[in-house]
Structure formats: structure tokens, C-alpha cells
Amino acid sequence: MAWEILSIIGTIAFAVSGAIVAMEEEYDLFGVYLLGIVTAFGGGAVRNLLLGLPVSTLWSQEMMFQVAIAAITIFFLIPHHLVKQWNRWGIYTDAIGLSAFAIQGAMHAVYLELGMGAVIIAAILTGSGGGMIRDVLAGRRPTVLREEIYAMWAALAGFLVAVNIWTSDWFLYILFIAITTLRIISYIRRWQLPRKSLKKVN
């Protein structure tokens, strides 16, 4: 049950996230749908290729495509005056998508009986891959490469799923809420990982 619920949540969240970015960049209706679909399914497609799954796996998700299209359509039809803070909406939907898809990607790798490294990578790619493709197509620096912590939360989700410490779907739901919350807090408080610049100081 957790698999289906997280898939639906992640698909809706990332589809809307892509639509928000497209609207911010003033894309037309086709661009809104295209960026929403790419964001919702891009990470999973990259993950499937690296895990050796056939491309047809993506096209078998007909219901998820319908969910994504419905979510984009509904969000597009929301009157502009009801959605004033596009950037804040984008942060929340992106955090939800990151968390849901990271856990779902990790579960997929565990189901294939892969090692911990593969599970963590699957979580990172599924959780952040679609957002990376979205940002590149929108001409933006990918969120995963910005200063605040992003992909590390997907890696953490993958690690916790890989060590197999859950006993029920409730753990996965709690993990989903925790990762979403951590991502939002890390953005608001500007938490950063250590970095080293090679630029010369004048």
C-alpha cells in the first residue's frame, strides 16, 4: 500500500512543481504540461535505466500519467489571485516529491535485492532526477547543486530503507513526513554542507 500511495503523492507533487516552474518562466500550455510530466517521471526513468530495467517500464504507468495530467490541469486552472506566492508553493511541492520518490526509489531497489549503495543511489536519482531535468530545461541551476541541503535527504531516506528497519507501512509514512520536513527546514534556515571554493580571493 505504501508503494502506491507514495507513487501517487510523488507524481502529483513533482507534476505541480514542474508546472509552477513552467509558469514562472512564462511557458505556454504545452510547455507547462511537458515540464510537469518530465519532472514527475524523469527521475524514475533515469533510475530504471541504471538498474537495467526496460524502457517499457515507464510506459506501463498509464494511471500515473493520468494522475500527473489531472494534477497539472487542476493547478493550471486555479485563479492567479489564489496562488500568489509561486516560489513558496514550489518549495513545498518539490520537498514532498523529493521525499516520496526517494523512498519509493529505494523500495524499488530493495525489491530487486540490490545492495545498500544501489538503494541509496536509486533514492537520490528518483528523488532528485526529475527536478534536475526540470531545472535544466528551464535554464536554471539545478536545485540539487544549490547551497542548501537537498539530495542528502534523499540519500538519508535511501539509507534508512536499505537497513530494513521498518516493520510496517507506518514507518515509511513517518519517514516521508520527516524527510519532507527536513528539506523544508533546511531551505528556510539555509543549512549547508561544507564546501571549498577554488576561486582566487582578490
Decide: 55 and 69 in contact? Cβ < 8 Å: no
Q: What is the pLDDT of residues 17-72, one digit of tens each?
A: 899 889 889 899 999 999 999 999 988 888 888 777 776 777 788 889 999 999 99
20: Cα separation from own chain's centroid: 14
pLDDT digits (tens, 9 = 90+) for 79-97: 876 666 665 677 888 888 8
Task: Give the SS3 label for residue 115.
Answer: coil
Q: What are phi and psi of 53, to 5 degrees?
A: -85, 145
Pick the range with the lowest mean pLDDT from 20-24, 168-172, 182-186: 168-172
Around 140, how many Cα atoms within 13 Å sit in the side-chain half-sphere? 16
Judged by DSSP in three states, 148 sits in strand
* Positions of E strands within 24-69: none
CA distance 150 to 22: 21
Digit-coded pLDDT (tens) for 154-164: 999 999 999 87
Q: For the chain, how many helices (H) and strands (E)?
A: 8, 0
152 burial level (CB within 10 Å; 0-12, 13-18, 19+): middle
0.85 surpassed by pTM: no
